[in-house]
Amino acid sequence: MRIQDLPYPDPGVPDARSGPRLLWWLFRKQLGGQLKSLAWGLLHFTAVSALPFCVGLAVQAVVDRSGTRLAQAGGLLALVCAANAVGDTFLHRTAVTNWITAAARVQQLLARKAARLGSALTRRVAAGEVVAVSTGDVERIGWFVEALSRFTAAAVTLVLVCAGLVVYQPALGVVVAVGLPVLALAVLPLLPRATRRADVQREKAGRATELASDTVAGLRVLRGIGGEELFLDRYRRASQEVRHAAVRSARMWSLISAVQVLLPGLLLIAVVWYGVHLSRQGRVTVGELVTVYSSVMILTYPLRHFEEIAMAYSFSRPSARRAAGVLALERATDSTGTRAADPPSGDLYDPATGLLAPAGRFTAVVCGDPDAAGRLAERLGGHPSEEGPSALLGGVPLDELPLHTARTAVLVQDKDPVLLSGSLRELLDVPASGAVGTDAALAAAQCDDVLAALAQNSLDAGDPLDARITERGRSLSGGQRQRLALARSLVTDPEVLVLDEPTSAVDSHTEARIAQGVRDLRAGRTTVVFTSSPLLLDRADRVVFLHDGSVVAAGGHRELLGTEPRYRAVVTRETDDEAVPGDVLDRNHVPHRREEIEETA
């Protein structure tokens, strides 16, 4: 795979059972590139290691006053330098390619997993952890996968050079052959502690990233309550902990680097001392001594790759473990499906609570527990939970449908929908049936003032649909974000639309118009709204009241107000002393849930 051919048509199915298994799977998927890197690495390291031999031949030729052998040594030296240049150039090219393609493969796998899991991903893994895995961790994983072939080339070169020195000059070659493995393995006792410190650093960095993400996401609210300084102080403390952990980790790696410098120096001193002793006895020529000395000095270069591979593995192992943890997550709904791909139709039914949403009707659901309502909305979207299996649409369990079919049949908009940065036209460019136009969806969601605000803030946009929306819609108020998200859901026009508190940040007058607009636009389609707003409840065809996880009443909004005290308490927020007798409730009595203003954050 070449860089220009990215992204992969199919990144494959990863072995996510553990971090090392994921690294090994990535290595096997890039076997062709790894073999290329190994071949160029062998050429490069062999050429580098051959330089001392050429220098030794040249020195001995000068000592023997042989011009012919000096010319031969010069020609051989030029050939080795050319091989070194070619090998180094293409080694770098293949190494960078392996690094980038490995990181890109992991990023594609993470993106595919995020698309399959949807909002369930951030409920099972912290958002900061997902960001850290998809940015810094993929680079560390790519680094180790790429460094493995270079390390293999360096290790093979060391073995060849040691064998060659033993043949070339047995007395000194044996010293080098014994000393080099000691140098290569000397850092092993230090690696566990270095790895632990690297893990601590990465864990603290992940916490700081998560804290920063939460702080930025809630900055508007924090400013509203004067809490930004508190969260900034928390982030400062977290960042200082990251710094201290990074310093402790760097100290250990600097010790490893010092050992990698000190021990080759000691071996070099030993070779020189012993070589001089042998030279005085006439057992070693000057050229042989120079060759062995230069070889030991040059071999410190491939030896550095032992330190690099140790560092790369220490950093990539926890990164690969976290990436494998994300990639091992599975959507409760079968992504391939065990039933036919045709979207079902009919009534929507939740076996756990007994909730029934008739086909083609506008059903409102009142639940006193917001968390229970959120879990029920997930089940209606095809995600089983601890409370029970997924819902049935037309008698077909949603978790037995292929993923794309389930999402086509049922769309769930949660309490906090995300608006991606880009133009409004791009925001509304979603998979849709085509039956609902953009203008109709915006009108039903009462987005006229939102369009005007976007056009005013984007003077270069001739059409409000070309106006830019900042990241997560931070330039918009809470009510404006809710209405744009609602318009996006309406454009999709699914068979079943599930809305969880879609108007909680909208004023009552706008909410009344939205309720009517959604009812009219979704006529003949199944719509389920989780709400306690009387304005929405009064326009629903059917209202279902849940208490303690079960359906306890169903009917019209005004009917339930008069016959079900628990329903009335949830909707009107009344206390026992404020209870309104059922016989005084008439058609003109529609209690309001709140008087929230449009600027709610």
Which residues are within 8 A (CB) of 312 and not within 5 positions of it... i.e. 6 or more apart?
Answer: 140, 143, 144, 147
pLDDT at 582 over 60: no
pLDDT band, very low/low/confident/very high, at 213 (cuts 50, 70, 90): low
What topology is assigned to 348-584 in CATH?
Rossmann fold (3.40.50)
- Residue 30, pLDDT score: 87
Helix (H/G/I), strand (E/B), else coil: 176: helix
8-327 and 348-584, same CATH topology: no
In whole angstroms, what separates CA 378 from the centre of its chain?
22
Helix (H/G/I), strand (E/B), else coil: 547: strand
Q: How far is CA 384 from CA 300, 331, 333, 392, 399, in A?
A: 58, 9, 7, 11, 8
Q: What's the mean per-residue pLDDT of the chain?
A: 81
Pick the CATH number of 8-327 from 1.10.287.110, 3.40.30.10, 2.40.70.10, 1.20.1560.10: 1.20.1560.10
- Residue 363, pLDDT score: 95
Residue with the bigger pLDDT between 159 and 295: it is 159
pLDDT band, very low/low/confident/very high, at 408 (cuts 50, 70, 90): confident
**Rg from Cα positions in the chain:** 34
Cis peptide before 7 (omega within 30 of 0): yes
Which residues are within 8 A (CB) of 49 and not within 5 positions of it... i.e. 6 or more apart?
Answer: 157, 160, 161, 295, 298, 299, 302
pLDDT at 595 over 70: no
Q: Which two tokens stand for residue 91?
A: 């080694």
pTM over 0.85: no
pLDDT in tens, 125-153: 766 667 778 777 888 898 898 899 999 99
DSSP-assigned letters across all residues of 223-281: HHHT-HHHHHHHHHHHHHHHHHHHHHHHHHHHHHHHHHHHHHHHHHHHHHHHHHHHHHT
What distance in Å separates the CA atoms of residue 255 and residue 266, rounded to the nearest whole number? Answer: 16
pLDDT in tens, 447-493: 988 888 877 776 666 677 888 887 667 778 888 889 999 999 999 99
Q: Which residues of 113-122 are buried (b: 16+ CB within 10 A; e: fewer)?
A: bbeebbbbbe
Q: Which residues of 306-335 are buried (b: 16+ CB within 10 A; e: fewer)?
A: bbbbbbbbbbbbbbbbbbbbbbeeebbbbe
- Residue 128, pLDDT score: 62
Q: Kindly list the domain boundaries of the chain, sorted by start residue.
A: 8-327, 348-584
pLDDT in tens, 346-393: 899 999 899 999 999 999 999 988 888 888 888 888 877 766 778 899
pLDDT band, very low/low/confident/very high, at 292 (cuts 50, 70, 90): confident
Beta bridge partners of 468: 423
Q: Which of 422, 411, 363, 419 minimizes the C-alpha distance to 355?
A: 363
Helix (H/G/I), strand (E/B), else coil: 10: coil
Q: How many residues does the chain have?
A: 601
DSSP assigned state of 135: I
Contact 158/184 with Cβ under 8 angstroms? yes
Q: How many CB atoms lie within 10 A of CB 360?
A: 16
Q: Which residue has the tokens 């050079």?
A: 161
Q: Which of 122, 112, 116 minimizes the C-alpha distance to 332?
A: 116
Strands laid side by side in the 542-547 sheet: 410-413, 496-500, 526-530, 362-367, 542-547, 550-555
What distance in Å separates the CA atoms of residue 242 and residue 251, rounded to the nearest whole number? Answer: 14
